Amino acid sequence: MNEKLIIMNTLQQAWSAFTHLFYPHICAGCGSDALPAGSELCLSCIYGLPVTDFEMNAGNPVEKIFAGRLRIEAASAHCYFSKRSAIQHMLHQLKYGGNQALGRQLGMLLGTGLMQSARFKDIGLLVPMPLFAARERRRGYNQAAVLCGGIAAVTGIPVCTTLIYRTAATESQTKKSRVDRWNNMQGKFSVPDASVAVNQHLLLVDDVVTTGATLEACGSVLLKIPGVRLSITVLCFASN
């Protein structure tokens, strides 16, 4: 029996080495193949994330974006964004590389940060920033909804992907001014049935915030729901 177990273990190790050679499982941040079991990131990238601690601090840079523009309870971003960095590579893998497992893991890290702050303790519903339906079909998923799945896994807060919709496609925001970004998003969101969100504290979730125009346009529609309080969280804060 022991010999059979040894043979089986040897065969499993050989198969694992073979599949790793041709189908390597590498870190989505740096490309290392030294990954913890079930992780999309190596320990170096996990502990090297440029964490902001905005969850803990009122008046943080994300909240300042919306000051006087949107009535929110709290806002945060888990990481700082910088170009040509590991976090940019992770975001690219999430949005365009089909790596939903990475998105879920990043969402869990985001959710863990939120749980450490009393400012986000009474959230009743997670609301992912919606994509226009045609774009979501092409991509196969909504990256904000994937992040919400990770947040829900550690917080137990339910996710609602059907509360708010984009009613039209929008042009890229990348090269637009703050005012142009706002104008580009006006009238692009709709809530067909608000009943699930009445009197709830909603957490609107997205991947990145820069000027906040998209989050502001979406949030302003959510705030029309009776009794709603609104907070915002994103994975990354990208300063102008």
pLDDT in tens, 117-168: 999 989 999 999 999 999 999 999 999 999 999 999 999 999 999 999 998 7
Q: Are residues 37 and 155 located together in one domain of the fold?
A: no
Question: Whose CA is closest to 108, among 77, 76, 70, 154?
Answer: 154
- The range of the structural domain enclosing residue 14 comes to 1-48
Residue 138 has which token pair?
A: 């092409």
Let me know whether 37 and 58 are in one domain: no
Q: Are residues 41 and 60 in the same domain?
A: no
> pLDDT tens-digit profile of 200-222?
999 999 999 999 999 999 999 99
Same domain? For 174 and 79 the reply is yes
Give the integer Cα–Cα distance in Å for 120 and 122.
Answer: 6
Q: How many angstroms separate the CA atoms of 169 and 160, rounded?
A: 21
Indicate if 91 and 147 belong to the same structural domain: yes
- Domain total of the chain: 2
81 and 177 fall within a common domain: yes
For the entire predicted model, the pTM comes to 0.85
Domain boundary, last residue among 48, 67, 87: 48
In a shared domain, residues 7 and 108: no
SS3 at position 237: strand
